[in-house]
A and B are shown apart, each in its own frame.
Chain A
Amino acid sequence: GAVVSQHPSWVICKSGTSVKIECRSLDFQATTMFWYRQFPKQSLMLMATSNEGSKATYEQGVEKDKFLINHASLTLSTLTVTSAHPEDSSFYICSADDTQETQYFGPGTRLLVL
Chain B
Amino acid sequence: RKEVEQDPGPFNVPEGATVAFNCTYSNSASQSFFWYRQDCRKEPKLLMSVYSSGNEDGRFTAQLNRASQYISLLIRDSKLSDSATYLCVVSLITGNQFYFGTGTSLTVIP
The interface residues of chain B lying within 8 Å CB-to-CB of A34 are 97-98
Contacts of A45 in B (CB 8 A): 100
The residues in B between 2 and 41 inclusive whose CB is less than 8 angstroms from any CB of A are 32, 34, 41
A27 interface residue (CB < 8 Å to B): no
Task: Give the residues in chain A near B45, CB-CB below 8 Å.
Answer: 105
Which listed residue, B44, B93, B96, touches A44 by the CB 8 Å rule? B44
Is B57 in contact with chain A by the CB < 8 A criterion? no
Q: Say which residue of A43, A46, A106 sits within 8 Å of B102 (CB atoms).
A: A43
Interface pick from A61-69, A72-80, A81-89, A95-103: A95-103
- Of chain B, the residue at the smallest CB distance from A46 is B97
Work out how many contacts link A and B, with CB atoms closer than 8 A. Answer: 48
Closest to A57 in B: B95
Q: How far is the CB of A55 from chain B (nearest CB, A)?
A: 14
The CA of A105 and the CA of B96, in the complex, are separated in Å by 14
A49 to B95, CA, bound (A): 8
Contacts of B43 in A (CB 8 A): 93, 105-108
What's the Cα separation between A72 and B16 when bound, in Å? 49
Residues of chain A lying within 8 A (CB to CB) of residue B60 = none
How far apart are the CA atoms of A57 and B49 in the complex, in Å?
A: 26
Q: Nearest CB to that of B43 among chain A residues?
A: A105
Chain B: residues with CB nearer than 8 A to chain A? Answer: 32, 34, 41-46, 49, 87, 91, 93, 95-103
